[in-house]
Amino acid sequence: MLGDFPDLKGRTILQVAPELSAGGVERTVLEVTEAIIEAGGRALLASKGGRMEPEFERLGGELFRMDAKSRNPVTIKLNEGRLRQIIREEKVDLVHARSRAPAWSAWVAAKAEGVPFVTTYHGAYSGTSGLKRAYNSVMAKGDLVIANSEWIAEHIRKVHDSDPARIITIPRGVDLEAFDPARVPASEVERIRALWGLAGDTRLVLLLPGRLTRWKGQGLAIEAMSLLPPEERAGLVLVLAGDAQGRDAYVDELQHQIDRLGIGDAARISPHISATDMPAAYLAAGVVLAPSIRPEAFGRVAAEASAMERPVIVSDHGGGRETIIEYVTGTRVEPGSAIALAGGIRALLSLGPTARASMGREGRAHVIRHFSKRGLQAATLSVYKRLLEKG
């Protein structure tokens, strides 16, 4: 063992992911890369690449560029050959796939080359048709399958009739050094508030961070704000902070909704916030919202916000039930209901700042116990070691 990690000296691990842009999959790729290198191993990645490439390379990872995002059957077949070549030439000991399209290529390549194959089931993939279920099934074909919440583990057992002994639950982790309120200067918090146009503004910020996509619930939050009594809304401002990733029509739709409901001064759409600025963004808020319409597999926003000692309102489904303890670290509301979300906001406001601060402290303690990055890294490397020792 090297500290918390198994010894991977002389071992080469190949992760396979669509791209390195932004999101939970990409962030976990980086976290596991960091752990592999610290454990003495060699960390490879087959991916299309993206904005996180410099960070990946700084950690010591080696990128093998390929169109791992494509669902085209011809591309998937070509990727299979490319991955077999990488496995042979780089003497790969284990393959870890993190998304469906590249997982099909990786599964065939790993089996053909006789190396262990691990998958991480990152989400409850949509689609119930026979064809869609068959496409999704590759994520349950790992020699061991990592589920990022107990809810996802149960989903795998039910949908794919998988052997429970092959499913390992490893929740996503929060970097407790980066997401530490004591480490963020007040000047950084003020800079973020200025970015939102709130310099000198004393209103309490309701922050909804995440990709600007319909299922994350931005429209629901706007509607909930409009349902609050004007005297309560006067002391609040809703900030929707996220990357549109080309969904300009959706951004226009959100702005039109804000204008139509007449809450232009109480809601605003912010530019994308970088990962390094997220700790300050959470501190710039009083309450964090994660009102996803579809179940989140885990819900990184809720865990990160809790680590920054902010109470969180989540939809009462999916992994949110595991990250937020009702009226201890935040509250859970009926999914898809603007009325319920408005009620959750009013409930936390009615508690007052002292009780909300206490919730925040409980939230950080909960994350430290259950959702640390170090815990994710150690557990993932233990999965690798278990398969490598079996041969």
Q: 239 is written with which tokens?
A: 């900030």
Nearest 10 degrees: Cα torsion 290, 291, 293, 294: 30
CA dist 291 and 302 (Å) reads: 10
Residue 89 contacts by C-beta under 8 Å, 6 or more apart in sequence? none
Q: What single-letter DSSP state applies at residue 316?
A: S
Nearest 10 degrees: Cα torsion 258, 259, 265, 268: 40
Q: Mean pLDDT per segment of 10 residues, for the chain of length 391 residues?
A: 81 96 85 97 96 94 95 94 97 96 96 97 73 87 94 91 92 93 97 95 96 93 97 96 85 96 95 89 97 89 96 93 93 97 97 97 96 95 95 67
pLDDT at residue 130, as a whole number: 74
| Helix extents (H) in 90-149 | 100-113, 130-136
CA dist 380 and 173 (Å) reads: 11
pLDDT at residue 126, as a whole number: 65
Nearest 10 degrees: Cα torsion 353, 356, 360, 366: 160
Q: How far is the CA of 165 from the CAs of 2, 117, 149, 153, 349, in angstroms? A: 27, 15, 16, 11, 44
Residue 236 backbone dihedrals phi, psi, to 5 degrees? -130, 160
pLDDT at residue 209, as a whole number: 95
The label of the residue with tokens 């496409």 reads 135
